[in-house]
Amino acid sequence: MSESVIIEIRAGAGGDEAALFAADLHRMYTKFAEKQGWNIKLLDANQSSLKGFKEVVFKIKGGDVYSKLKQEAGVHRVQRIPETEKSGRIHTSTATVAILPQPKDADVQIKSGDLKIDTFRSSGPGGQNVNMRSTAVRITHVPSGVVVSSQGERSQAANKENAMQILRSKIYALKKEKELQKLGNQRRDQIGSADRSEKIRTYNFPQDRITDHRIKKKWHNIEKILDGNLGPVIRKFKKLEK
């Protein structure tokens, strides 16, 4: 069965270096998706001046995509010497990852009267406008306060459709989180909340080591994994699920 997820990556602490790390994570997931033969679609991106991402949102469609990537949600931390660092000091930066399963329309009912829709010009690195027309779309879901945007397409209609896909996934995630809270703290602790505030993994470049703090597992060869070779990580989590 084919399914879709929306992945949202945001640069956290660390300025330009955090944005570069967010771009590394984006490359890792898209490269992995390509190796699986999955479809990838960019929905929204806010680039930094150094070819990083302050935020990037994209959709991946393919068999078992959620079950293979759900463990990626949380705070990812990188320790390395940034390209901009002159004295050779190691910096620590973070990026957050959200893995949002894309619901069917019937699973999420959104009233048009609950939406505030704004249009604006698409922007590139540094904030400069790259489109003379206001094709980018920002949608606010007033009851929940959730705000989403899309500027990846050339037409306003296409960007609105993409923004609605992101919104449905976020509203669906909120709905699921409320259901999880009803199960009680003990059950929630067993399942894990997939909260982006939880630090899940550290990428230590000087030691060429990736550590997943949830399962106390380490892998080496960071560059290979960041190039989309997520198989060993996914297999370890699958093994623990059994």
CATH code for the structural domain at 106-182: 3.30.160.20
Contacts of 104 (CB under 8 A, 6+ apart): none
- Is this structure's pTM higher than 0.85? no
Which pair of structure tokens corresponds to residue 184? 């009680």
* Number of Cα atoms under 13 Å in the Cβ half of residue 154: 0
Tell me: pLDDT of 164 over 50.
yes
The terminus-to-terminus CA distance of the chain in angstroms comes to 21
Q: How confident is the model at residue 133 (pLDDT cuts 50, 70, 90)?
A: low
Q: How confident is the model at residue 48 (pLDDT cuts 50, 70, 90)?
A: confident
Would you kindly state where each structural domain of the chain is located, as residue ranges?
Answer: 2-102+193-241, 106-182
- The reported pLDDT for the residue numbered 202 is 95
Contact 74, 15 (CB under 8 A): no
Spatial separation of the C-alpha atoms in residues 46 and 58, rounded to whole Å: 12
Fold category of 2-102+193-241 in CATH: Alpha-Beta Plaits (3.30.70)
Q: Residue range 215-220: average pLDDT?
A: 94
Contact 33, 141 (CB under 8 A): no
Contact 116, 134 (CB under 8 A): no
Buried/exposed code over 191-205 (b: 16+ C-beta within 10 A; e: otherwise): eeebebeeebbbbbe
pLDDT digits 0-9 by tens, 16-41: 899 999 999 999 999 999 999 999 99
- The reported pLDDT for the residue numbered 242 is 67
